[in-house]
Amino acid sequence: MNFVALTMLTGDRSKYFGLVFAIAFSTMLLENQVSIFAGILQRTTSQIVDVTDAPIWVMDPRTEYAEEVKPLNSNALLRVRGVSGVRWAVPLFKGIPRLQAPDGRFRQAILMGLDDSTLVGAPRRMLLGSIESLQGPDAIIMDRAGYRFFYPEGPLELGKVFEMNDRRAKLVGIAEPSAPFATFPVVFSRYSEALRYVGPERNLMSFILVKPRDGVAPEELCRKIERTTRLRAATTEQFARQTIGYYLRNTGIPVNFGITIALAFIVGAVVAGQTFYMFTLDNLRYFGALKAIGVTDGRLTGMIVLQALVVAGLGFAIGTGLCAGYFEVTLQKTATRGIVLRLDAIAVTACVMAVIVLIASLLSIRRVLVLEPAAVFRG
């Protein structure tokens, strides 16, 4: 009976390929949009999750997300260091100065000013140079994508001289940090150098990075810092979720991607489901003939389920392969680096496709089960 079911399925090639194409297209669209959506949201927290040395971030109480901060004064650092349970606390600067190459090409950059003595928050993956090179005068480390904006051709080279807000900056390292939300170059320097690049203001300290003592839970220390200093303290995970929540509430990202994902589901549910149901209707005479010769309802149900699983499995595999090929190509592009096909997106899409196929199968099974075998031999 399984051979008969597969023969019926592939007998009408146009409907068969139409079913496979509808599921493949829906699969590719769902996996593509879910992965890009998750990748973009992950980018909003890139400067947060890249700091692996300290699990706690201290900031102004009204700070909503990582890109918009109110600077703290120097006394805040001393107050945080005085909280019991704090092993060490260091300042971190985050700003957006103007970076200019010798040929006049310029762009805004994300400048991360690291503590002069510890360099907490430095990039972990260095392509050229070393983190310790930041101790030199005017020294900066730039991400590879930012370097390629200024020098798109040729090998990576150190020693390039830039102007940052009309001040000299010498490239001593090239790193590969996480891709930021805005496609600006990411630049690292010492905290004192960062303040010099930005210019004089009364308060310039963006965040305080805190390491708890051994045996002190980060969440507990956060609450203690807030009670003692009246500042906001959050773990890396909490601050990342807070930043993602801001973008979800205040930007059009979830609406735009939500519409596309909904359309992909509708394409899969309506087109594939309706096509499979129509396929069953067109083959009712064969199902009726099988019932007339004594094939049980359970066997007929198994045949329909087999047909649905074959179509769904083949379409899902093709769609996933096409989506993987797409990300393999775009992964090499500067603007889309770091956005990959996610396993959770594949799992969610597989569940969605299973629901679509289940609904289509139930409709088809019901139509076959209520079929009278005698109807096959009428007129």
For residue 54, what are the contacts with CB-CB under 8 A and spacing of at least 6? 90, 120, 121, 209, 210, 211
Is a pLDDT exceeding 80 seen at residue 111?
Answer: yes
Look at residue 126 in the predicted model and tell me its pLDDT.
Answer: 94
| Paired strand residues for 90 | 209
Look at residue 127 in the predicted model and tell me its pLDDT.
Answer: 94
- For tokens 């040395």, the residue is 53
Look at residue 214 in the predicted model and tell me its pLDDT.
Answer: 92
DSSP state of 139: E
Residue type, 182: A
pLDDT band at 365 (very low <50, low <70, confident <90, very high): confident
Is a pLDDT exceeding 70 seen at residue 376?
Answer: no
Which of 103-107, 201-205, 218-222, 299-303 bottoms out in mean pLDDT, i.e. has the lowest? Answer: 201-205
Picking from 110, 135, 112, 107, the residue whose alpha carbon sits closest to that of residue 122 is 112
Is a pLDDT exceeding 70 seen at residue 43?
Answer: yes
Quick check: 44 and 178 in contact, CB under 8 A? no
Q: Where are the alpha helices (DSSP H) in the chain?
A: 2-11, 13-43, 46-49, 74-81, 144-150, 191-198, 218-229, 236-250, 253-266, 273-282, 284-292, 297-330, 343-369
Picking from 231, 180, 193, the residue whose alpha carbon sits closest to that of residue 209 is 231
Is a pLDDT exceeding 70 seen at residue 201?
Answer: no
pLDDT band at 235 (very low <50, low <70, confident <90, very high): very high
Picking from 324, 57, 40, the residue whose alpha carbon sits closest to that of residue 179 is 40
Look at residue 1 in the predicted model and tell me its pLDDT.
Answer: 64
Look at residue 132 in the predicted model and tell me its pLDDT.
Answer: 93
pTM: 0.78
Give the containing element (helix H, strand E) for 58.
Answer: strand 56-59
Picking from 365, 338, 40, the residue whose alpha carbon sits closest to that of residue 178 is 338
For residue 32, what are the contacts with CB-CB under 8 A and spacing of at least 6? 323, 326, 327
Look at residue 187 in the predicted model and tell me its pLDDT.
Answer: 96
Which of 105-119, 254-268, 337-351 bottoms out in mean pLDDT, i.e. has the lowest? Answer: 254-268
Q: Where are the domains of the chain?
A: 2-44+252-377, 73-230
pLDDT tens digits for 120-132? 999 999 999 999 9
Look at residue 277 in the predicted model and tell me its pLDDT.
Answer: 74
Look at residue 84 in the predicted model and tell me its pLDDT.
Answer: 93
pLDDT tens digits for 305-321? 888 888 888 989 999 99
